[in-house]
Amino acid sequence: MSETPFHPLDHTWPDQPADRGTLGGRPVLDCVTGAVDDSGEILLGPAIPVRRGAEGWEWLVVHVTASPLPVGEEVDLEVDREHRTALSAGHTACHLAALALNAVLADRWRKEARPDSLGNPDFDQAAITSSRIEPHGSVDVYRLGKSLRKKGFSAENLDPAQVAAQVNELLAGWVAADAPVHVQVPGPELTARRTWHCSLPDGEASIPCGGTHLTRTSELGRVSVVLTLDDAALTMRTTVSMC
């Protein structure tokens, strides 16, 4: 099996953008997931008709460069460290913000809901429609529609500013706790089911995740969210101000 230090965009859940860097000195313009079907054809990103890890397909990390590399040449792969750290910070903050949001919204559930790893009803998983990791931040969009109401969630009189203030208070405590973060990797293959872990004062948090992360919550410096409610969409913008 060949290896690469580059993180490719996942076509199934495209949350964390591709790494930047160089391959044999050439800039890597993009890095995407590739899948090889029975006929040997390589399909890229959105053109892949199955979910990541589907049986019968071979999975690849595809590095896009402006000029082709000579076949057989040995090259160095170098990831832009600064950009990667900024994305890792954004991704770690994204998960912490989701857990904090679950905790703050917990008393709005009228029916039993599937709990997150800290035992709160998992609003994040029940309502999320998209998650985008950015350098030093993330944008998560949640749908507060009929289907969520049917599951037992009440968005009545939800004050985004008040919820954000409570989320930020929790986040400040978690950053101050200097909690260790690690990603559990069960196998070397691209499709291995990885899990993000964080040992918070509130308990051992875990979330399935294919992205990259920091190693301690204190590295985040400061994390804060801004919530906006527009129609039935709740948008959470998370920002990290690293020291």
Summarize as ranges the residues that interact with Zn ion (CB under 5 A): 209, 211
Q: CA 48, CA 70: separation in Å to the nearest integer? A: 27
Smallest gap from Cβ 170 to Zn ion, in A, equals: 19
Question: Residue-wise over 137-158: b if at least 16 C-beta within 10 A, else e?
Answer: bbebebbbeeebeebebebeee
The one-letter amino acid at 92: T
Of the pair 15, 202, the CB lying nearest Zn ion is at 15
Q: In whole angstroms, give the CA distance from residue 169 to residue 160.
A: 14
| Phi-psi label, residue 15: left if phi above 0, alpha if psi -120 to 50, beta otherwise | alpha
Nearest approach, Cβ of residue 145 and Zn ion (Å): 24
Q: Which is nearer to Zn ion, 162 or 215 (by Cβ)?
A: 215
Structure tokens at 21: 């860097």
**31 or 96, CB closer to Zn ion?**
96
Min dist. Cβ of residue 73 to Zn ion (A): 35
Which residue number places its CB atom closest to Zn ion? 209
Min separation Cβ 40 and Zn ion, Å: 32
**For Zn ion, the closer CB: 79 or 87:** 87
Which CB atom, from 164 or from 198, has the smaller least distance to Zn ion?
A: 198
Name which of 36, 35, 32 is nearest 8 in CA terms.
32
In 3-state terms, what secondary structure has residue 92? helix
Min CB(103)–Zn ion separation in Å? 18
Contacts of 234 (CB under 8 A, 6+ apart): 127, 141, 142, 143, 144, 155, 158, 160, 227, 228
186 alpha-carbon distance from chain centroid: 18
Q: Which is nearer to Zn ion, 120 or 138 (CB)?
A: 138
Report, in Å, the least distance between residue 225 CB and Zn ion: 16
